[in-house]
């Protein structure tokens, strides 16, 4: 009988306009019935040439483009770019600025994970999660708007510190949010963690072993869900992360469910870190005092001639770091992000290489989707938490 | 973060032998401890680095130092996830020169090498699927080269090119 019936695989195109691909990702699928034989991602639809453009902008101008990479976590991108630039320039950041940076990037991690949770859940069919997650994320967006006037394209960090000090009632608003938010995480978990439909759709799906995950270069929650407890905040602390008490959640099975559990646990740890930054927020300067390379505080421009001159020169001519190379990895919500900057002594980076976590993580999709059902592919894409702005750059 | 006591070269010598470690030529001025390597020994050294605990290829990218010769550098950013230490292997290449693929040692190199080909035109020998990754198939030129002007667009149109691109053997029919 098998000789008489001829079967062959079918090639199906998914995307680039597909709601569950979270942007313009195209996947060419080879299907055997409903089973995936091979999944080949095609990217580049959102390519804007940020690395090339950065070579033609000053360091401060180039920083504004990092907002457009992972537009769900612009604070983390800004921080990574600024840390590399500061290492090139050789300037120390005052403690207050460091603490505010940690507070904002951890709020950013919560916001990014909330978007992930909402969209991932709606992909699998838990519609109500999106509304709850975006309700809380909106408060974080309001906080960002209060601090810098923008919700997504924040560009709030500067060489040596921050663009401006945080507003007077900001810490109180963050505290109110944290108090409101803590019980909300439990609510999400009651809706999903032991929900039978959720378990059926996620447990054992898109599994990847620790060895494969390392080999494929996965980083961030996607790697930790496979059981490798690597967190850059612990191994290479930056911005004073060594002062905070937090744990690194690690999964065991490396499936969609473990990636969900790891991210939920990370939200709780981020809440802990934000609380600690609120408790210890030092007073003092929000930007370093190094007039040749650091923008003077805005209010001094009206009274100090020198500040005005330095401001003018830094904005018009740009900062000129000595020739050299720098790379500071940062634990972004998606994984390791970093900017390998090469300076030739001019005001513009000679080379600005972006290490994009989503780009590298997406490469594991083929491996995870192999042999899975077509419907599970949606769950796998969602669990990788990709942002196409960063993949295509 | 553990304090670095011995250099990567000493550790490699202790682990796999002094002969291979002698291939590593220290390079100053990089972001981390860096060594220039010959491309004939690259794959072997990457495998040896993995045995020394640098099991994670964090990044692989090219830098165009035009008009310096040799013009290109390919940087392998290796990470030890236990300690967070990093070491860079640097491969120096002239224009048009190819280099051996690292996909046999680190699967993650696949897309990075495609990107290096797409953006700089440097080919990885033995790569399983060396196609453009970010630019479209009919695009001419390699945008991140220093002699590619910012904002330059090759004359032939996008759609025209795509339809003229021959279908790859065994690939999807569209």
Kindly write down the DSSP assignment for every residue of A8-47, as one continuous string.
--EEEEE-SS-GGGSSS-EEEEEEETTEEEEEEEE--TT-
DSSP string of B82-114, one letter each residue:
TT--EEEEEEEE-TT--EE--TTT-TTHHHHHH
Taking residues B87-112, what's their average pLDDT? 91
- Per residue in A149-182, pLDDT (tens digit) is 898 999 999 998 898 889 989 999 999 999 999 9
Q: How far apart are CA A391 and CA A332, in angstroms?
A: 14
* The two structure tokens encoding residue A324: 């050299």
Residues of A in contact with B32 (CB under 8 A): 327
pLDDT at B1: 41
Q: Please check whether residue A16 touches B, CB under 8 A.
A: no
Contact list in B for residue A234 (CB cut-off 8 A) is 84
Which ipTM did the prediction report? 0.88
Say yes or no to pLDDT of A333 above 50.
yes
Cβ-based contacts of A236 with chain B (< 8 Å): 1, 84
Q: Do A281 and A240 touch, CB atoms closer than 8 A?
A: no
Torsion of CA B3, B9, B11, B15, to 10 degrees: 160
- Using DSSP's 3-state secondary structure scheme, residue A244 falls into coil
Averaged pLDDT for residues A211-229: 91
pTM of the model: 0.90
A216/B169 Cα distance (integer angstroms): 26
**CB distance B1–A325 less than 8 Å?**
no
Nearest to B56 among A217, A324, A363 (CB): A217
pLDDT given at position B2: 45
Banded pLDDT at B168 (limits 50, 70, 90): low
CB within 8 Å: A44 and B135: yes
pLDDT given at position A225: 92
Q: Tokens 């991690």 map to which residue?
A: A109
pLDDT over 60 (residue A1): no
φ/ψ region of B87 (left if φ > 0, alpha if ψ in -120 to 50, else beta) reads: beta
Q: Are A63 and A382 in contact (CB under 8 A)?
A: no
Choose from B133, B136, B162, B167 for mutation: most chain A CBs within 10 A.
Answer: B133
Are the beta carbons of A326 and B31 separated by less than 8 Å? yes
Q: How far is A249 from chain B (nearest CA, A)?
A: 15
| Main-chain phi, psi angles of A339, to 5 degrees | -120, 115
Q: Which two tokens stand for residue B156?
A: 């032939």
Q: Do residues A387 and A99 touch, judged by C-beta distance below 8 A?
A: no
- Rounded-to-integer distance, Cα A234 and Cα A5, Å: 58
- DSSP conformational letter for A298: G
CB atoms within 10 A of CB B28: 5
A189 touches chain B (CB under 8 A): no
Contact list, A359 vs chain B (CB under 8 Å): 111
Q: Which of B101, B69, B73 is nearest to B89 (CA)?
A: B73
- What is the overall mean pLDDT for chain A? 90
Q: Report the 10 Å Cβ neighbour count for A32.
A: 13
Question: Any CB–CB contact under 8 A between A53 and chain B?
Answer: yes
């Amino acid at each position: 009988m098998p000789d008489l019936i001829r079967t062959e695989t079918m090639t199906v195109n998914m995307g680039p306009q597909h709601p569950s691909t979270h942007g313009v990702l195209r996947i060419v699928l080879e299907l055997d019935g409903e089973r995936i034989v091979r999944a080949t991602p095609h990217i580049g639809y959102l390519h804007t040439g940020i690395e090339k453009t950065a070579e033609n902008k000053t360091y401060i101008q180039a920083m504004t483009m990092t907002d457009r990479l992972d537009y769900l976590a612009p604070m983390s991108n800004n921080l990574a770019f600024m840390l590399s630039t500061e290492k090139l320039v050789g300037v120390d950041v005052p403690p207050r600025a460091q603490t505010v940076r940690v507070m904002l990037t951890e709020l950013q991690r919560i916001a990014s994970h909330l978007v992930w949770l909402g969209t991932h859940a709606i992909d699998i069919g838990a519609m109500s999660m999106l509304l709850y997650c975006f309700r809380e994320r909106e408060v974080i967006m309001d906080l960002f708007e209060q601090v810098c006037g923008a919700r997504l394209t924040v560009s709030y960090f500067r060489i040596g510190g921050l663009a401006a000090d945080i507003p007077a009632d900001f810490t109180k608003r963050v505290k109110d949010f944290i108090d409101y938010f803590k019980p909300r995480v439990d609510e999400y978990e009651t809706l999903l963690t032991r929900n039978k439909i959720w378990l059926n759709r996620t447990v054992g799906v898109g599994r990847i072993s620790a060895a494969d995950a390392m080999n494929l270069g996965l980083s961030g929650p996607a790697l930790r869900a496979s059981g490798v407890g690597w967190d850059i905040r612990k191994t290479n602390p930056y911005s004073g992360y060594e002062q905070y008490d937090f744990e690194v959640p690690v999964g065991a099975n490396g499936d969609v469910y473990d990636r969900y559990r790891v991210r939920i646990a990370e939200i709780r740890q981020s809440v802990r870190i934000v609380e600690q930054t609120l408790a210890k927020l030092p007073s003092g300067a929000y930007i370093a005092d190094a007039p040749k390379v650091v923008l003077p505080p805005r209010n001094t421009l009206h009274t100090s001639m020198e500040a005005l001159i330095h401001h003018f020169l830094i904005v018009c001519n740009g900062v000129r770091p000595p020739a050299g190379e720098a790379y500071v990895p940062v634990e972004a919500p998606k994984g390791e992000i970093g900017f390998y900057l090469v300076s030739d002594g001019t005001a513009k980076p000679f080379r600005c290489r972006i290490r994009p976590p989503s780009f590298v993580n997406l490469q594991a999709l083929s491996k995870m989707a192999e042999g899975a059902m077509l419907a599970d592919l949606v769950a796998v894409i969602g669990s990788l938490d990709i942002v196409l702005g960063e993949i295509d750059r | 973060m553990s304090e670095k006591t011995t250099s990567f070269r000493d550790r490699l010598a202790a682990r796999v032998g002094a002969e291979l470690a002698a291939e590593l030529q220290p390079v100053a001025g990089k972001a981390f401890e860096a060594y220039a390597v010959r491309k004939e020994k690259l794959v072997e050294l990457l495998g040896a680095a993995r045995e020394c605990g640098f099991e994670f290829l964090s990044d692989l990218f090219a830098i165009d130092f035009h008009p310096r010769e040799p013009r290109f550098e390919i940087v392998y950013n290796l990470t030890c996830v236990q300690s967070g230490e990093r070491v860079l292997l640097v491969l120096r290449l002239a224009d048009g020169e190819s280099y051996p693929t690292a996909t046999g040692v680190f699967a993650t190199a696949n897309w990075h090498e495609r990107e290096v080909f797409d953006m700089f035109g440097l080919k990885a020998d033995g790569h399983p699927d060396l196609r453009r990754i970010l630019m479209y198939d009919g695009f001419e030129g390699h945008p991140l080269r220093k002699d590619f002007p910012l904002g330059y667009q090759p004359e032939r149109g996008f759609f025209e090119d795509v339809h003229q691109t021959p279908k790859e053997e065994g690939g999807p029919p569209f």
